[in-house]
């Protein structure tokens, strides 16, 4: 122990002596009332206070940076938690809506999840995790609790591909829920439209559009959307009715498959996409 102290003293004795002398000098300065000494004392203490303040600010800045870094991490974690809660809330509302739909109608519905999407301007399709094993067949409607999503195009054992209503190859007979007027709805690559509607037909903005029972594909009325715009065609005789769909088919994740098929014989006589065998 003595040897260790001796080594420390030999290495740092100059600094120890300096510190002792500085402390002694400061003590003498504080006890001396001479005016000149007081001036020196004021300068010394002022310089010491300035240096102390600089070091304090440096340490404080470092501490603030560390605190800011920690706060940023907390904010990021809170943002992720909030995002997860919002996602769970959206999923919860969607699933609750699906349960309410299933409880309020007696049609045979099979819940399914969209597992992949093939999106383009004209050919929008989705892949669903239900197939032949569950009794799914081409031509069956796909819907959410908001409205129509599309029609089953083809099936494998465990999966099915559906053409969405935003697909140029899908043409459906729809009708105005208010006045029961029918028309052919299709996707033109930019919007859903009911084509070749006589100007005498009574369509107004906000009218609800549903699938028509005379359709060869969908035998029951399913909500599709509302009239968002009425465009006069160049001939001046017909109107083009723009439809805003109830369901955003490009973002939907959970759907139902309606286990019903239209009349195949009737279907073969009409212009639609049905997958003929």
User: So what's the pLDDT on residue 275?
Assistant: 46
CA distance linking residue 23 with residue 58, whole number of Å: 25
User: So what's the pLDDT on residue 10?
Assistant: 72
CA distance linking residue 227 with residue 270, whole number of Å: 25
User: So what's the pLDDT on residue 104?
Assistant: 55
List the beta bridge partners of residue 271.
Answer: none
**What six digits make up the tokens of 56?**
């304090």
User: So what's the pLDDT on residue 73?
Assistant: 57
CA distance linking residue 175 with residue 98, whole number of Å: 24
**What are the backbone angles phi and psi of residue 30, rounded to the nearest 5°?**
-70, -25
Q: Do residues 111 and 256 touch, judged by C-beta distance below 8 A?
A: yes
Query: Is residue 186 classed as helix, strand or coil in its secondary structure?
Result: strand
Match domain 109-267 to its CATH number in 2.40.10.340, 3.40.1360.10, 3.40.50.300, 2.70.150.10. Answer: 2.40.10.340
The one-digit pLDDT tens for each residue of the chain (277 residues) are 666 667 766 776 776 777 677 667 666 655 656 666 566 556 655 665 666 665 556 556 666 666 765 665 565 556 656 656 765 776 677 777 767 665 555 678 888 999 998 888 888 999 999 999 999 999 999 988 888 999 999 999 999 999 999 999 999 999 898 888 899 999 998 899 999 888 888 888 999 998 887 877 787 888 899 999 998 887 778 889 999 999 888 888 888 888 888 665 555 554 454 444 4
What element of type H or E holds 184? strand 182-187
User: So what's the pLDDT on residue 65?
Assistant: 67
User: So what's the pLDDT on residue 276?
Assistant: 45
Q: Do residues 263 and 216 touch, judged by C-beta distance below 8 A?
A: yes
What element of type H or E holds 197? strand 192-198
User: So what's the pLDDT on residue 122?
Assistant: 84
pLDDT for 247-271, tens place per residue? 888 888 888 888 888 665 555 554 4
User: So what's the pLDDT on residue 242?
Assistant: 94
| Cα–chain center distance at 215 | 34
Q: Do residues 212 and 175 touch, judged by C-beta distance below 8 A?
A: yes
User: So what's the pLDDT on residue 205?
Assistant: 92
């Amino acid at each position: 122990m003595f040897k260790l102290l001796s080594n420390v003293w030999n290495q740092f004795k100059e600094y120890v002596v300096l510190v002792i002398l500085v402390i002694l000098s400061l003590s003498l300065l504080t006890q001396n009332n001479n005016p000149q000494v007081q001036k020196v004392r004021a300068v010394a203490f002022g310089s010491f206070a300035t240096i102390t303040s600089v070091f304090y600010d440096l340490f404080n800045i470092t501490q603030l940076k560390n605190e800011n870094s920690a706060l940023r991490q907390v904010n990021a974690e809170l943002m992720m938690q909030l995002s997860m809660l919002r996602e769970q809330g959206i999923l919860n509302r969607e699933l609750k809506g699906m349960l309410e739909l299933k409880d309020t109608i007696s049609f045979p519905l099979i819940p399914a999840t969209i597992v992949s999407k093939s999106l383009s301007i004209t050919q929008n399709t989705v892949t669903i995790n239900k197939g032949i094993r569950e009794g799914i067949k081409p031509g069956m409607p796909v819907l959410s609790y908001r409205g129509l999503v599309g029609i089953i195009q083809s099936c494998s054992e465990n999966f099915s591909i559906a053409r969405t209503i935003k697909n140029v190859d899908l043409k459906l007979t729809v009708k105005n829920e208010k006045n029961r007027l029918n028309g052919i709805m299709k996707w033109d690559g930019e919007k859903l439209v009911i084509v070749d509607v006589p100007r005498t037909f009574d369509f107004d903005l906000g009218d609800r559009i549903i699938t028509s029972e005379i359709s060869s594909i969908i035998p029951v009325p399913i909500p599709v959307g509302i009239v968002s715009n009425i465009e006069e065609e160049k001939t001046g005789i017909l109107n083009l009715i723009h439809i805003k769909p109830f369901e955003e088919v490009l973002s939907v994740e959970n759907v139902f498959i309606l286990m019903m098929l239209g009349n195949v014989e009737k279907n073969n006589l009409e212009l639609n996409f049905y997958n003929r065998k």
